A and B are shown apart, each in its own frame.
Chain A
Amino acid sequence: MLRNTRMRQLPLHLMLLPALVILVIYSYYPMAGAVIAFQNFTPAKGIFRSEWIGFDNFNYVANLPDTLRVVWNTVFIALMKIIANLVLPIIMALLLNEVINNRFKRIVQTMIYLPHFLSWVILSGVLIDILSPSTGIVNHFLSLLGIEPIYFLGNNDWFPFVLVASDVWKEFGFNTIIYLAALTSINPSLYEAAVVDGASRWKQTLHVTLSGMLPIVILLMTLSLGNVLNAGFDQIFNLYNPQVYESGDIIDTLVYRLGFVSAQFGVATAVGLFKSVVSLILISASYFLAYRLANYRIF
Chain B
Amino acid sequence: MYRLSPSRRLFLICNYIVLSGLSVICLLPLINILAISFSSSGPAIANLVKFWPVEFTFSSYKFIMHKQEFLTAMVVTLKRFSLGTIISMVLTLLAAYALSKEESAFKGRTLYAWIFMLTILFNGGLIPWYIAINQTGMLDTIWALVIPNAVQVFNVILLLNFFRGLPKELEEAAFIDGASHLTTLIRVFIPVSAPALATITLFTIVYHWNSWFDGLLLMNSPAHYPLQSYLQTVTTVRDLTLVSSQSLNDLKDVSDRTSKSAQLFLGALPILFAYPFLQRYFIKGIVLGSVKE
Residues of A within 8 A of B (CB): 5, 8-9, 11-13, 15-16, 18-20, 22-23, 25-34, 36, 43, 47, 92, 95-96, 98-99, 104, 107-115, 117-122, 124-130, 134-135, 137, 140, 169, 173, 177-178, 181, 201, 233-234, 237-239, 241, 252, 255-256, 259-260, 265, 268-269, 272-273, 275-276, 279-280, 283-284, 297-299
Q: Answer whether A125 and B212 are a contact pair too, CB < 8 Å, given A20-B112, A23-B115, A95-B18.
A: no
Are B115 and A20 in touch, CB under 8 angstroms?
yes
For the complex, is B45 an interface residue (Cβ under 8 Å from A)?
yes
User: Which residues of chain A come closer than 8 Å to B58, judged between CB atoms?
Assistant: none
Q: Answer whether A22 and B19 are a contact pair too, CB < 8 Å, given A12-B106, A129-B257, A140-B47.
A: no
Are B119 and A27 in touch, CB under 8 angstroms?
yes
Q: Answer whether A13 and B125 are a contact pair too, CB < 8 Å, given A26-B148, A108-B20, A129-B261.
A: no
Q: Answer whether A30 and B128 are a contact pair too, CB < 8 Å, given A12-B98, A130-B32.
A: yes
Q: In the assembled complex, how far is the CB of residue B270 from the closest CB belonging to chain A, in whole angstroms? A: 10
Q: In the assembled complex, how far is the CB of residue A68 from the closest CB belonging to chain B, in whole angstroms? A: 20
Residues of B within 8 A of A (CB): 8, 11-12, 15-16, 18-20, 22-24, 26-27, 29-30, 32-33, 36, 45, 47, 50, 90-92, 94-95, 97-99, 101, 105-109, 112-113, 115-117, 119-133, 136, 147-151, 156-157, 160-161, 164, 180-182, 185, 206, 209-213, 217, 228, 231-232, 235-236, 238, 257, 260-261, 264, 267-268, 271-272, 275, 278-279, 283, 286-287, 292
Q: In the assembled complex, how far is the CB of residue A43 from the closest CB belonging to chain B, in whole angstroms? A: 8
Are A169 and B26 in touch, CB under 8 angstroms?
yes
Partner of B132, one of A12, A26, A255: A26
Complex: how many Å from CA A128 to CA B122? 34
Add 20 more A-B contacts to A32-B128, A117-B275 (CB < 8 A).
Answer: A5-B105, A15-B181, A19-B150, A23-B115, A26-B129, A34-B128, A108-B22, A112-B23, A118-B268, A120-B212, A121-B232, A126-B30, A129-B33, A130-B33, A135-B257, A140-B47, A272-B126, A276-B125, A280-B121, A283-B120
Q: Answer whether A31 and B123 are a contact pair too, CB < 8 Å, given A181-B283, A298-B117.
A: yes
Q: Answer whether A99 and B15 are a contact pair too, CB < 8 Å, given A22-B151, A110-B279.
A: yes
User: Which residues of chain B come closer than 8 Å to A297, judged between CB atoms?
Assistant: 292
B237 (CB) vs chain A CBs: closest residue: A128
The 5 A-B pairs of least Cβ separation, nearest first, read A272-B125, A30-B124, A33-B128, A125-B235, A119-B210
Name, among B90, B164, B271, the residue most crowded by chain A CB atoms within 10 Å (CB to CB).
Answer: B271
Q: Answer whether A27 and B32 are a contact pair too, CB < 8 Å, given A19-B95, A99-B19, A238-B232.
A: no
Are A119 and B212 in touch, CB under 8 angstroms?
yes
User: Which residues of chain A come closer than 8 Å to B260, judged between CB atoms?
Assistant: 125, 129
User: Which residues of chain B come closer than 8 Å to A96, judged between CB atoms?
Assistant: 19
Are B45 and A269 in touch, CB under 8 angstroms?
no
Complex: how many Å from CA A8 to CA B180? 8
User: Which residues of chain B come closer than 8 Å to A114, judged between CB atoms?
Assistant: 26-27, 30, 272, 275
Partner of A33, one of B22, B124, B164: B124
